[in-house]
Every structure is written in C-alpha cells, then in structure tokens.
Amino acid sequence: MNTEKLNDDKAAAIMNFVDLIIGAFDSNHVATNALTLAQLHRIAEHHCADIYGSKFGNIVSRHGEELAKECGLNV
C-alpha cells in the first residue's frame, strides 16, 4: 500500500468518526454538542472496537485515573 493511499484511509477514518458523533447529535442520541475529553475517548474506544475490531483500553488504563478525572471522567 502506498503512503498516499494509507494517509487517505487514515483521514477518511477520522472523518467517519467525527461524522458518527455529528449523526448521534442529529438523531438525538447525544443531547448536547459539548463533549468532555473523557466522553470523546469513550466514543473513540467503542468506535474502534465496533468498526475496526481494535481494542485500545479505557481512558483510565491508558492515561491514569487522575488525568482521566481531569478530562471529565465521572463529572
């Protein structure tokens, strides 16, 4: 796979992810258009697992409890 194709695929995956969040807001699955970093991480965690079969772990396992709370976990 060439670098340009790989970069296009990565960019498309990012845009697909953002479009998913916008779609969730548009269909009232998400009540507000303001997210904490912890919420964004959770959405990304599930998106990666559901769409790509990749598991990266939750925000606490990846960044520690203190930083996770600063990012809005359980706020």
Instruction: Please say if the pLDDT value at position 1 is more than 80.
Output: no
Domain ranges in the chain are: 1-31, 35-75
Q: What is the mean pLDDT of residues 1-30?
A: 92
Q: How many residues does the chain have?
A: 75
The pTM of the whole model exceeds 0.75: yes
Angle at 71 between CA 33 and CA 62, to 5 degrees: 120
pLDDT for res 30: 85
* pLDDT tens digits along 21-69: 999 999 998 888 999 999 999 999 999 999 899 999 999 999 999 999 9
pLDDT for res 75: 62
DSSP state of 28: T
